[in-house]
Structure 1
C-alpha cells in the first residue's frame, strides 16, 4: 500500500433510533464521534416487513377517485 493516502480508520459511536448504542470502526469524523441514525434495520420497512401508508394531503384518495372507473366495463 502507498503511505499517507488512506483515510484514518478509528472507533465511532452509533446511536440507533430506539436509543441503543454500539461502537464500530469507521472513517467518518474523528475518534469518538457519535452518529445518530434516523433510519435503521429495527425501524425501516425494508427490514421489518411492516409498511405504513402516509397519505399526505389526500393524494391516495385523489388517485383512487381519478382512476376509479378504469377496468370496469359498461354494456352498450
Structure 2
C-alpha cells in the first residue's frame, strides 16, 4: 500500500435521535468529535414502517397554503 494516503481513523461519539450515545471509530471529523443524527434506524420510515412528514423550513405549510383551494 502507498504510505500517507489513507484518512485518519479515530474515535467519535454518535448521538442517535432518541438521545442514545455510543462511541465508534470513523474517518468523520477529528478525534473526539460528536456526530448528532437527525434520522436513524429508529426514526426512518424504511425501518419503522411509519411515514412521517418532516417539515423543513415550513415547506409543507407553504404547499398546503398554496394549494388549499384546489379541489380534486
Alignment TM-score, normalising by the size of structure 1: 0.71
What residue number does 1:19 align with? 19
What residue number does 2:40 align with? 40
What residue number does 1:56 align with? 61
Q: 2: CA distance between counterparts of 1:45 and 1:56?
A: 21
RMSD: 2.1
Q: 2: CA distance between counterparts of 1:44 and 1:7?
A: 29
Gaps spanning 5+ residues in structure 2: where? Answer: none
Number of corresponding residues: 65
Deviation of 1:33 after TM superposition, in Å, equals 0.7
Alignment TM-score, normalising by the size of structure 2: 0.74
What residue number does 1:3 align with? 3
Computing the radius of gyration from Cα coordinates, the structure with the larger value is: 1
